[in-house]
Structure 1
C-alpha cells in the first residue's frame, strides 16, 4: 500500500495544484522514515501540508505489538497569511508535530493542544498549536486501513494555550469568532480572554 503517494495526490487535488507548483522540505528524525512538508501557494496564503505521518497507524505506545494496518492515521495542514521571508522554521515545527505519534506516542486528534516549547517559526510569538478538523476530505485507503485525516493546525499564544487547558478548544474558537480574529494571521494578538 503506497500511502504517501495516495495522500500526496489527494492533497494536491484538494488545493488544485500540480506537483511542480509545490515546494517541499524533507525532515528525518532518528529511527524514523523521512517526513515531507509541502509548501503550497494559495490565494493570499501559504498552506503547509505534511506527508509521511500517516504511513503507519497511530496506536497506544503501551501495546506490546502495534497493528501495522488498523488504527487512526493523520497528517497536518497549516494555513498562514505570511511572506516567504518570515517562514523560516515552519517546516521543522510541523515535522516535529507530525512525528510526535511515533516519537512520543501521542495520538493526533481534533481539539488536541500540542506545545513545542519554542517558537513555531523565526520571531513567532506562538509556541503551541490546537488541532482541529480541516476542510480536506478523509483519504480512503484499502481495507482494513482507516482513512487518512488531515487536521488543521492553529498556532496559539501561551495565554490561549492556558485557556484551552481550562476551558477547552471550542471555547477558544468561540472567543476568536466573537473577537473577529483571523487565526491565519501570524501577526495577530492573543484574544482577550
Structure 2
C-alpha cells in the first residue's frame, strides 16, 4: 500500500489542481523518511500540505511493539493569504511539525498546541501552532488501516499559546471570531485577549 500516493491524489483532487500546477519541497530528518510539502495555489491564498506523515500510524512511543498498520494517521495543511508574499522557512517548520509523532511520540489531533520555540518562518511573530479540523475529507486506506486526516495548522503567537493553555482552544477561536481576525493573514498580530 503506497499511502503517500493515495494521499497526494486525494489532496490534489480536493483543491482541484493537477500535479504539474503544484510546487513541492522535500524535508529530511536523520532516521526518518523524507517529508514532502506541497505548495498549492488557491483563490487569493496558498495551501501548504504535508505528505509523508501518514506513512505510518501514530502511536505511544512507550509501546514495546508499534502496530505497523493500526492507529491514527495525520497530515497537516496550512493556508496563508498570498498578499504578504512568500514565507521563507515555512516548509522546514511544517516538516518539523509533521515529524513530531515520529520524533517525540506526539499524536497529532484537533486542538493540539505545538510550540516550536522559534519563529515559524523568517521574521514571523508566530512560534506555535494550533491544530484543528480541516475541510479536506478523510482519506480512506485499505482495512484495517485507519483513514488519513488532514489537520489545519493555525500559526499563533506566544500570548495566544498561553491563552490556549489557560482557557482552551475554543476560547481562542471565539476571540478571533469576535475580533474579526483572519487567521490566514501572515501579517496579523495577536488577538487582544
- TM-score band by shorter chain is over 0.9
Distance in structure 2 (CA, Å) of the matches to 1:28 and 1:44: 30
Gaps of 5+ in 2: none
Aligned length: 193
Partner residue, 1:105 = 105
What are the within-5 Å matches in structure 2 for residues 10-159 of structure 1? 10-82=10-82, 85-159=85-159
**CA distance 1:176–1:147, change in 2 (3 Å):** same
The alpha carbon displacement at 1:82 in A equals: 3.2
Partner residue, 1:174 = 174
**TM-score when scaled to structure 1?**
0.98
Gaps of 5+ in 1: none
* C-alpha contact 2:120 2:128 (8 A) present in aligned 1: yes
SS of match in other structure, 1:86: coil
* C-alpha contact 1:86 1:122 (8 A) present in aligned 2: no
Distance in structure 1 (CA, Å) of the matches to 2:26 and 2:4: 13
SS of match in other structure, 1:107: coil
